Amino acid sequence: MKVLVADDDIIVRKLLNKLLSSWGYQVVLAADGDEAWKVLNDSDPPQIAVLDWVMSGKTGIEICAECQKAGLSVYRILLTAKEKDEEMMYALDQGAHDFKSKPIKPEILKSRLAVGKRLVEAIQDTMRAERLAAVGSLVAGVAHHFNNLNLPVLMYASSILKKTDLDTKTRKKVEKIEKAAIEAGDLTEKLMSIASNKHQKKELADLNHLTNDAIEINSITFDKDEISVRTDLKSIPKVLIDINDIRHVVVNLLGNACHALIASPEKKIIIKTGMENNQLYLQVTDTGCGIAANKLQKIFSPFYSEKGEFAEPESPFYKVKGVGIGLYASKNIATDHGGDITVKSQVGHGSTFTLWLPVA
Ligand SMILES: Nc1ncnc2c1ncn2[C@@H]1O[C@H](COP(=O)(O)OP(=O)(O)OP(=O)(O)O)[C@@H](O)[C@H]1O
Ligand SMILES: [Mg+2]
């Protein structure tokens, strides 16, 4: 994390630079208040500022007040020779987040900086989540309108193809239109699933029944890719779910498993259901390419995909398409149901994704 140290005393600057760098911070130095203000208004400003109160140019207090006025979110620690309570209260009132009298013990400064870092990270996390939610509903809204425009294209292309008197050239062209419209429809459906479904229609459902439905939906791919599917579905109580949403999750997991098996000598998928620790589970295991440990968290991020254009030419995922929404949307659906999706994987041996749902 980037930290600005502004102090007109070169010895203090050097000392703080050495200490903060040794604690892993990226230090930016300013020799007076005007220079500090310039740094804080850069395109990539520091997230924490350690400011002297009295400096040439703007004072530390003036910088705090101006940051507050301009809405700059930098975490401001005032480090000063002043030590009266009234001075501390004045500094905090003016916009400082923390106040410490000099001389400061290095370990205390280290702890104060750690507090600042935690706060900055928490704010960044919240902002990221809010931005994602906003982007999500925007994308889903656009996708919805696009889908409405795409439907007549698909309908008319399909109805033209039903004609028997089409010449070969025209038929080929219309087939291309139909194929593109089908792909556009798949894509928009995925994009629409990003927005959280606030209108879930929950009902008591049989997870085993739903699993068999999802297998049926993927059966053409299983046959085409010669994938053997084994099920081990235990007798479990009904669960309160939005059937369409949860079926969507299982179809996604099965689709990913099929892609993972593309280059595997052993093409097996095992689907299990059962109950553990008062939770129902549905587990999809494949004997596919597996996922590296450092990617196990990333795969649930929106738009994270290693397929198609995101894949290296030698990757088994090179020839399949991916948007990177399947797992993100599936995890959201699972958490909206009070459940979760967990994953275990070993590169070269396969993966197991488990959907957990609370017992109704
Ligand atoms: N069973 C699996 N085996 C190996 N890698 C997997 C598996 N499931 C997911 N992944 C990895 O996680 C990434 C993200 O998966 P996700 O389903 O979110 O997106 P996608 O499949 O790439 O695209 P789509 O939006 O069409 O589902 C995949 O691109 C792939 O790299
Ligand atoms: Mg997927």
Is the pTM higher than 0.85? The answer reads no
Long-range contact pairs involving 144-150 (C-beta distance under 8 Å, separation at least 24): 144/188, 144/192, 146/184, 146/188, 147/185, 147/188, 147/189, 147/192, 150/181, 150/184, 150/185, 150/188
Task: Give the number of whichever ligand sits closest to the CA of residue 264.
Answer: 1
Distance CA 8, CA 51 (A): 10
**Residue of 178, 179, 286 lying closest to 222 (CA atoms):** 286
Asked if residue 113 belongs to a domain, the reply is no
Place of tokens 């959280």: 196
Confidence of residue 198 (pLDDT cuts 50, 70, 90): low
The pLDDT of residue 16 is above 70 = yes
* pLDDT for position 55: 93
Among candidate residues 149, 168, 195, the one where a domain is terminated: 195
Compute the distance from residue 344 Cα to the ligand 1 centre, in Å.
Answer: 14
In DSSP notation, 106-168 reads HHHHHHHHHHHHHHHHHHHHHHHHHHHHHHHHHHHHHHHHHHHHHHHHHHHHHHHHT-S---H
Which phi and psi (to 5°) does residue 169 adopt?
-60, -50
Number of compact structural domains in the chain: 3
The pLDDT of residue 261 is above 90 = yes
Q: Tell whether the torsion through CA atoms of 315, 183, 250 and 193 is positive or negative.
A: positive
Q: Which atom of ligand 1 is nearest to the CA of 353?
A: 1
Model confidence over 104-160: pLDDT tens digits?
A: 899 999 999 999 999 999 988 888 778 877 887 788 888 888 988 999 999 999 999
Among candidate residues 195, 214, 229, the one where a domain is terminated: 195
Question: Does one domain contain both 144 and 238?
Answer: no
Distance CA 279, CA 212 (A): 20
Per the CB < 8 A criterion, the answer to whether 102 and 80 are in contact is: yes
* pLDDT for position 196: 59
**Residue of 77, 56, 68 lying closest to 10 (CA atoms):** 56
Model confidence over 240-259: pLDDT tens digits?
A: 999 989 998 999 999 999 99
Ligand 1: lining residues by beta carbon, under 6 Å: 190, 252, 256-257, 260, 286, 288-289, 291, 299, 304-307, 322-328, 351
Mean pLDDT of 342-357: 97
Distance CA 271, CA 354 (A): 10
Say which DSSP state 283 is in. Answer: E
Mean pLDDT of 306-328: 90
Q: Is 296 exposed, middle or buried (0-12, 13-18, 19+ CB in 10 A)?
A: middle
Q: Which amino acid is at 187?
A: L
Per the CB < 8 A criterion, the answer to whether 310 and 290 are in contact is: no
Asked if residue 284 belongs to a domain, the reply is yes
Task: Give the number of whichever ligand sits closest to the CA of residue 306.
Answer: 1
Question: Does one domain contain both 336 and 210?
Answer: yes
Mean pLDDT of 38-49: 95
Compute the distance from residue 210 Cα to the ligand 1 centre, in Å.
Answer: 22
Mean pLDDT of 185-200: 75
Taking phi over 0 as left and psi of -120 to 50 as alpha, with beta for the rest, 84 belongs to beta
Which CATH number does the domain housing residue 271 bear?
3.30.565.10
* pLDDT for position 199: 63
The pLDDT of residue 77 is above 90 = yes
Question: Does one domain contain both 290 and 157?
Answer: no
Among protein residues, the one with the nearest Cα to ligand 1's atom 29 is 305
Instruction: Give the number of other CB atoms < 10 A from CB of residue 153.
Output: 15
Question: Does one domain contain both 253 and 319?
Answer: yes
Compute the distance from residue 121 Cα to the ligand 1 centre, in Å.
Answer: 28
Asked if residue 15 belongs to a domain, the reply is yes
Question: Does one domain contain both 191 and 214?
Answer: no
Report every protein residue that has its C-beta within 5 angstroms of ion ligand 2.
Answer: 256, 326
Among protein residues, the one with the nearest Cα to ligand 1's atom 8 is 256
Say which DSSP state 229 is in. Answer: E
| Mean of all residue pLDDT scores within the chain | 92
Asked if residue 309 belongs to a domain, the reply is yes
Question: Does one domain contain both 177 and 209?
Answer: no
Q: Which atom of ligand 1 is nearest to the CA of 260?
A: 3
Mean pLDDT of 53-57: 93
Confidence of residue 193 (pLDDT cuts 50, 70, 90): confident
Ranking 185-194, 237-246, 255-264, 300-309 by mean pLDDT, the lowest is 185-194
Asked if residue 152 belongs to a domain, the reply is yes
Confidence of residue 345 (pLDDT cuts 50, 70, 90): very high
Beta strands in the chain (DSSP E): 2-6, 26-30, 48-52, 75-80, 98-101, 202-205, 228-233, 239-242, 268-276, 279-286, 340-346, 350-358
**Residue numbers of the domain that contains 69:** 2-104
In DSSP notation, 177-198 reads HHHHHHHHHHHHHHHHTTS--T
Asked if residue 109 belongs to a domain, the reply is no
Structure tokens at 302: 């929106």
Compute the distance from residue 149 Cα to the ligand 2 centre, in Å.
Answer: 25
* pLDDT for position 158: 94
* pLDDT for position 186: 86
